[in-house]
Structure 1
């Protein structure tokens, strides 16, 4: 049984995905645990309210020591709902004292939960960049994917963030994340961002900085849904057909290291969920030198086609805007 609660689906025992190596390590992406106030159908972590996995204080200290040793510029916090980790505030404040830029991958609704009413202000006071999931600007679509009432709670949270200065052209950055409803590629990021901004401004007087479009990767909860519907092979074929070699230069695994809630390291968050360790063997953050990753091989499998299909996909959104003539080139 996988730690995420789903038996693993073998996408392919071997892959023809191109070999990749690491550049300089710039970002440490830390999964603080799988506890979340939501259970979204697309969640590749299979997070939810009943999950008990949470990073402990000694592992948080290991993260901070690694940041300091490697002079890493960005700490990217994810989950679950990372804010639900009991050491979240300590980690944020300590990282900021090191001069590290902190990103919080927020589901928005957590900011409306009892006990978290001052979380938005805490994030603002520490100048934390917020990257928030809002998979559509229409209520029915969001609630279908993420649960009843999620859209209204998300709108309320966005209004609160705007009042604090987020997404208003200030130094407090607020980015939104779109992912498709099903096994399709995201639409062009630039055009969708314009549509989001127009709709949210006209309907709710809400502003934000950037929209990031992400492809749903065929792993964990999403993969099991596709398998149950008999569409997993179809989606994998779609990703392969739209592979764009130009995206290989910009995939986030080349400059980002993923850390699980226990402190073990992976090339990306998706590899973490598939138990594909960085460097071919299970390694803990406390035992690693942050200055030795350049040139190291990256563990790849067929799910990597999800990050390189079409315009590409990463935690910072689309990687490029491919022309029709480039699509499918391998």
Structure 2
């Protein structure tokens, strides 16, 4: 499977995605927030500094909102990373969240982790698992993660091979289990080790996910029973109607029904706890966004501080968060964020 960009698909352009999201006459998301007194939506602070290290990935997953893949060459430079490290050194932000693509494929990934670790920051790495056994140069990643106490967060769409491979590609499940065993071998996911290993679940189709606690219990039971692997927590997220998942919704004839499902499931409690209120997203090119999804739609933060080279902490903490129709995904049902359900 090629990325939308490599296919020359219309949705490789963010403007085309936004046009689709706004042309069906659905109730504007902003009106939902106005009705509950949350508009304009403002940050509660900047607690998480999420850095997208590039769109290059060893996988091309069916639902990827980044449109990542082996054919994507956009990666963050060391110069941009240094801007980020300088900001982190001067701030009280404690968590650095590294994502991609496969962040480990950035040639400066290990340098960045070492530098952020030296600053005393808590580092989260969103690892797709199969990168660990994709190439010999990545085989020691579990040991490297453990050395720097990196929290590993990995997507596993299901605890069965069929449902995982359907979303992520043939053989992904077996390679993921192998990588999980390697992580367990160095202590990740093992009680008392202090090495945090969390999984991420998102539905394989156009439905809302079930409750996080019950799904976590199912995952832990089945993965331990069948494969002897362990992890700490399961984060449940909702599929965002953007990029490849948006293309899938339209191609399968599920778009309008899915959007209506999200709108009808709007949850005011989830809306108050959306991740854009305490997270700042930094694109591979250094531009600033309210969240990872806004980044993929090229919706930069409001104001004059739009790039790491012109970072203004006070202005960013007081900015108005940019919203659009895709935001229904984070506020439907029990809510959705990079850390799982929010209500």
Residue of structure 2 equivalent to 1:243:
266
SS in 2 for 1:77: strand
SS in 2 for 1:171: coil
User: Residue 187 of structure 1: CA displacement?
Assistant: 0.6
2:70 matches 1:70: no
User: Residue 56 of structure 1: CA displacement?
Assistant: 0.7
2:234 matches 1:201: no
Stretches (4+) displaced over 6 A: 2-5
Residue of structure 1 equivalent to 2:202:
179
Distance 1:141 1:231 in 2: 19
2:34 matches 1:34: no
Residue of structure 1 equivalent to 2:312:
289
User: Residue 75 of structure 1: CA displacement?
Assistant: 0.3
Residue of structure 1 equivalent to 2:151:
129
1:236-274 C-alpha deviation (Å, 9 max, x unpaired): 111000000011221110000001000000000000111
Distance 2:316 2:5 in 1: 26
Equivalent residues of 1:252, 1:314 under 8 A apart: yes
Residue of structure 1 equivalent to 2:323:
300
User: Residue 275 of structure 1: CA displacement?
Assistant: 1.0
Residue of structure 2 equivalent to 1:323:
none
Distance 1:309 1:151 in 2: 28
2:161 matches 1:151: no
User: Residue 181 of structure 1: CA displacement?
Assistant: 0.5
* Unmatched runs of 5 consecutive residues or more in structure 1: 321-330
More displaced 10-residue stretch of structure 1: 278-287 or 185-194: 278-287
2:117 matches 1:96: yes
Distance 2:89 2:315 in 1: 15
User: Residue 291 of structure 1: CA displacement?
Assistant: 3.7
227, 230, 234: which one pairs with 1:211?
234
126, 147, 158: which one pairs with 1:105?
126
Equivalent residues of 2:49, 2:280 under 8 A apart: yes
43, 58, 61: which one pairs with 2:64?
43
Distance 1:206 1:12 in 2: 44
* Unmatched runs of 5 consecutive residues or more in structure 2: 34-38
312, 322, 330: which one pairs with 2:335?
312
Residue of structure 2 equivalent to 1:12:
22
Equivalent residues of 1:17, 1:302 under 8 A apart: no
Residue of structure 1 equivalent to 2:278:
255
Equivalent residues of 2:48, 2:278 under 8 A apart: yes
1:172-221 C-alpha deviation (Å, 9 max, x unpaired): 00000000011110011000000000001111111100000000000011
| Alignment TM-score, normalising by the size of structure 2 | 0.90
User: Residue 302 of structure 1: CA displacement?
Assistant: 1.1
Residue of structure 1 equivalent to 2:42:
21
Distance 2:124 2:95 in 1: 7
Q: 1:220 to 1:280 in 2, by over 3 A?
A: farther
1:286-323 C-alpha deviation (Å, 9 max, x unpaired): 20122433332100111111001000000000111xxx
Residue of structure 1 equivalent to 2:36:
none
1:95-147 C-alpha deviation (Å, 9 max, x unpaired): 01101100000100000111211111101111000001101000011111100
User: Residue 282 of structure 1: CA displacement?
Assistant: 7.6
2:139 matches 1:117: yes
Distance 1:88 1:240 in 2: 39
SS in 2 for 1:203: helix
Aligned length: 319
